[in-house]
Each structure stands twice: as structure tokens, then as C-alpha cells.
Structure 1
Amino acid sequence: MYQMIRLIQNENMKIYKRVGTWIMIGVIILIVLIGGMVSKFLLSQDTSDNWQQQLQLENAQLAEQISEFENMPMVGSNATRPLREQVVINEYRLENNIPPVESETVWGFMISSPDFTAIASVFVIVIAAGIVATEFSTGTIKLLLIRPVKRYKILLSKYIATFLFALLMLVTILVSSFVVGGLLFGFSGMDFPYLVYQGGEVMERNMLLHIFTLYGFNSADMIMMVTFAFMISTVFRSSSLAIGLSLFLLFTGQQLVMLLSQYDWVKYILFANTNLNQYISGVPIVEGMTMAFSLTVLLVYFVCFHAISWVIFHKRDVTA
């Protein structure tokens, strides 16, 4: 155990001694700040005094959309379900005098902040792509392997260090969004609940717990693509290939799945399951998909990526 901790510490030192790593962290904070300023000064709409009228208008518009969908023979009931649920939630707000969490509040800004994880994913992929490949390109992998340490521990320590960096990026987004949101929009409304339609009724949930859930769901894509980049880096010993291929799939995977959504087998593709938000704020890509199914598929891919990495790294000859 002590040996493993030392290995992880060593990998962390390699990551954080680079100036580029701190630039990445600074860029994330800057992006959150810019996002807050855009929301405050360019997109701000004061609806605090007439939110009841806004919700009534929204319900009328939703009713029209539901009616239009129902008149379309090819549209199933799943297409109108989120709209109906939103109408019920809006009616609950009006009946109980619970204003919506707009973007002009600290909670509203923090709810939108998980979208920044896509940018953080790019930075973590860069770290994952180079943490193994760089050892081979510089020849330092020989210095690691001559130690009395099993190869799987070396590889595992590198992945854990990468995972810890990903966690740091998520915490940075969370904390900076709270600070920026509080400074720009104030800390009023901290007691507002999050409303969710479940089991045929509207339920009140803790807002902070909901935000943590959003971060968890948005992190699925990051974890899988970082693990993929780590595998490519280990197998091909090329950070450029790992970065390029991972970023390409990160930004095109969802579009590819949408193009193939008419086929039932598409649900087994990795990118059909990385968007876990589809189970709480939308409709699954393939009818019948569930949260448990997606988590199982992600787990299978996760194990396969690591198995390939471990087998290749364990058998690779680096004596030359």
C-alpha cells in the first residue's frame, strides 16, 4: 500500500510540476468567470417580479406543442412526456409560490456550470494521453520498470493520478462557479428546492444534491474518454494519436449516434450511453433504454479499455 501511494505521489509530481497544468486550471477558472459575466451582462432578464405570468405563458406554449405532437402519427408518447411533466412542475410552482431558479441566481448559474466539464475533458484527455506515451518517447519508462515494482502498479498509479486530476478539474469548476455566481448574482434564494416529477407527483429535492448529480452525470463522458485516451496512449505509445482520436470521438460521438438512432443496436455503442442526463431531462435515444442498462454498458467498456491497456503494457518489451 505504501509503495502504491509513493507511485501515485510521483505521478502527481510529474503532472503538477508542468506550467501547462496550472495554465489549464487557470483557463477553466477564467472560462467560468467569462460565462458568469456573459450570463449577467448579456443574457440577464429580470423575471423576478412577473415569474407567475411567465410560467403561465410557458404552460400555454407547452400545451400547444403537446397538441401538435399528438397530431403527428409517427410521434410516440415518450416525445410529449417531458413536456407534460414540465407543465405539472410549473403548476406546482404557481400553487406553492416557488419561483423558478433562473440563470440570474447563484443556483441557476451553478446548474449550468456542469456544461464546462466538456472543456475540462479536453485538458484531462491531454494529461491522460501523455502520461504513458511520454515515458516511452523520452525513454524514462526503463527507469520505472527496473524498480522492484509490478507493472500493473505502475500503470494503475498513472491512471489514478489522471483520475485525481480530473476530479480536481471538476472541483475547480464547482467551487469557482459558486464563487462567481455568488459575486455576480448574490446568494439569495439559497433555500430554493429543486423540483422533480417522479412517481406521478412533484417532489422537492435539495438543490445542492441535484447539482452534484448533474456533475456526476456529466462526468461519465469525461471518465470514458479519458480512459479511452489512456488506453490509446498505452497501446500505441503516441500522445498525438491518443489526443486526436479521443477529441474527435468526444465531439462527434453523439452526432454519430443520432445518425444511427433508427437502429436498435445503436444502444450498445459507447456514446449512446455516456449522456446520462437523457434519463432525467429528456428521452432515451433508443426506446426501452434505462439508467441501469447504460451504466452496465459503460462498465463493460471501462473494463475492456483497462484490460487492453494492462495486457499490452504487461507484455511489451522495452529492453531495446
Structure 2
Amino acid sequence: MIKLVQNELIKWFRRPSFYVMSIILIGLSVIGVVFTIMMGSMMDDPNQGGGQQLGWKEQLQQDNENYKMTMESEPEGDYGYLERRYAINEYRIQNDLEPTTENSVWTYVSDNLGLTSIITLFVVIIAGGTIASEFTWGTIKLLMIRPIKRSRILIAKYLSVLVFMVIFFSIFFVTSFIAGAIAFGMESAPELLYMNGEVFELHPFFYIMIKLLLSSLGVIMFATIAFMISSVFRNNSLAIGISLFLLFTGAQITQLVGMKFEWAKYSPFANTNFNAIIDGMPIVSGTTFWFSIVMYLIYFVLLHVISFFTFVKRDIAA
């Protein structure tokens, strides 16, 4: 199995596209320093004027009063985000934890987490082409003549996709960390994570690792969808095209449908962004973390079953 995975990795390491993806990811991770510094200077300018300003505790108390009034005005509403903000503000007040406004390596890496969407794009392209390209180029015959079960080949291809995901996440974290450390220093403040009605105080490193882990679940699901499409259609361009279409439109369409129909929460695209669910801003209102975990596992197994039967059971066309 290890040899098969290595073989799949070597195929992509020999393609210029892998290095182009890596360079783009490195460039975006580093260039964000410039925008962070520019945004920081723009935010500082308005504060130079006069006027009385509240202390941080008074400001948080005032924010919580506004949150409470909003939630009490319509008890039936979905206020997951406000509940999260209210609980975190209360925790800061009670434990004398002033919100930090200074940039550091950890805030920079956290702000750069939006680049995981780029990682998803790259991994989907790889997953969408890993099987289909074999049929498009005719190299599938070279795999089939080997005394290796098709199921092992399929597993090796999927594992290689996951390895590339880990590589891209590692590139993102290392480059963002180095750029952030050089530009903003290593100072850190505790991060607060709100889950199941409780607030947890974490070191920024562990907080970012949790965020990356949750982000990787979304990447894995989209990679699995692309992998299944690649197995079913067996056409490189078609597999990547459909996969990218679902990546860019799946969540948006689900969100629009979810405004009118509750059953939209059963869509796979409503149960991939776990960071948004924890932040109290799910794609479809009413979606909970554990509900999404169950739906995630169901779709994950279903997609692999489809991939298995289409790749292992169907004849290899000439």
C-alpha cells in the first residue's frame, strides 16, 4: 500500500501544477502581511480624535446588553452567534481578560485561515483528476495489468489526496507563521473557544490547530465528492469541472434553499463548515455541531461506496 501511495505522489510531484499551487499558497500566506499592516494603520487613524471612550469592560458590558435585548426581542430566533459573543464577553469580564488589539504571529495565522478555501480548491483539483486522468490519458491499463486489487489502487489514490491536503496545510501554517513572526513578533494572548454552552481558554497554537482540524474536515468532504465524481465520469475535464462547480456553488445554493425549506440542513454542503457552526453561523439555521458530524459521516461513507462500486465493479473501457 505504501508503494502505491508513493507512486501516486510521484506522479503529482512530477507535474508543474503541484509546484504552481505551492508557490501560489506561499505567496498568499506571505503577502497578507502587507494587507494586515495597511488595515492596522487605517483602523488606528480614527482613534486619534477626541471624545470619551469606554474602558474595555464597560464596552463589553454594553455590547452584552445590546445582545441580550436583541435575543429577548424575538425569543424564537436563531441567535447562536450572539450567544457565543455574550458568553465570551462574560468570561473576559469575570476573568479580567482584556481583548487584544495588537497584531502577533498568532493573530496573523488566525486571520489567514481564510486561505483554507484556496487549499480546498487545490485538493479538489487533485482529487477530481486522480482517477479520471488515468482514463483520459489511457494509463489506467498499466495499473490494471499489475497483480494488485482495484480496491487497493483506489485506496492508495484517496490516501495520496489526503497526503497532498496535509502538505498544503503544512505549507500554509509554516509560511504564515514565519511571515507573522517576522512582521509582528511572538507575543500571545489566550484564545477563547465556545462549545456546548461553555467557554474554554486555550493557547493560540492549540486554538489554531483546532480551527485547522475543523477546516480540514470540509476539505476532506469536498475532496471525497471530487474523488467520487472522478470515479463515476472517468473524464478528467468533466470531473474537475463538476467538482469546482459544486465547490463554488454548493454552499450558496444550500443557503438560499435553507431560507425557505428546513430540509436543506440535510445537504452535504450544509454540514462541511464546522468553524461556522461553532461560531454560531451555520449555513442553514438550526444546524448543530453533532447533527453535522452524523450527516458528515453518512455522506462520507456513501460517497466512498459509490466510488468503490464504480471503480472496482465496472469494466475498464478500451
TM-score past 0.5 threshold: yes
Q: Which whole-Å deviations, capped at 9, do the CAs of 1:19-69 have from their partners, x for residues lacking one? A: 11011011001001122220123344469xxx9835633542442343244
What value does the CA root-mean-square deviation take over the aligned residues? 2.8
Match of 2:72 in 1: 70
Match of 1:306 in 2: 304
Conservation of the 8 A alpha-carbon contact between 2:5 and 2:157: yes
Which one-letter code corresponds to 2:19 in the other structure? W
Unaligned runs of 5+ residues in structure 2 are 46-52
TM-score (norm 1): 0.87
Which one-letter code corresponds to 1:123 in the other structure? F
Conservation of the 8 A alpha-carbon contact between 1:142 and 1:319: no
Map 1:6-155; keep pairs closer than 5 Å. 6-44=3-41, 45=43, 53-54=55-56, 56-72=58-74, 75=77, 78=80, 80-92=82-94, 95-96=95-96, 98-102=97-101, 104-155=103-154
1:204 partnered with 2:206: no
| Counterpart secondary structure, 1:260 | helix
Unaligned runs of 5+ residues in structure 1 are none
Match of 2:2 in 1: 5
Count of residues in Structure 1 that have an aligned counterpart in Structure 2: 312
Match of 1:252 in 2: 249
Map 1:138-287; keep pairs closer than 5 Å. 138-189=137-188, 192-197=189-194, 202-261=199-258, 262-284=260-282
| Counterpart secondary structure, 1:42 | helix
Which one-letter code corresponds to 2:229 in the other structure? I
TM-score (norm 2): 0.88
- With 70-79 and 225-234 compared, the bigger mean Cα shift is at 70-79
Deviation at 1:80, TM superposition (A): 3.9
Summarize the Cα distance change of 1:254–1:62 in structure 2 as closer, same or farther, 3 Å threshold. farther
Summarize the Cα distance change of 1:202–1:131 in structure 2 as closer, same or farther, 3 Å threshold. closer
Conservation of the 8 A alpha-carbon contact between 1:39 and 1:103: no
Summarize the Cα distance change of 1:203–1:316 in structure 2 as closer, same or farther, 3 Å threshold. closer
Task: Tell me the distance in 2 between the aligned counterparts of 1:287 and 1:188.
Answer: 37
Overall identity of the aligned pairs, in %: 38
Which one-letter code corresponds to 1:127 in the other structure? I
| Counterpart secondary structure, 1:195 | strand
Deviation at 1:283, TM superposition (A): 4.7
Deviation at 1:250, TM superposition (A): 1.8
Task: Tell me the distance in 1 between the aligned counterparts of 2:34 and 2:111.
Answer: 13
Task: Tell me the distance in 1 between the aligned counterparts of 2:140 and 2:197.
Answer: 58
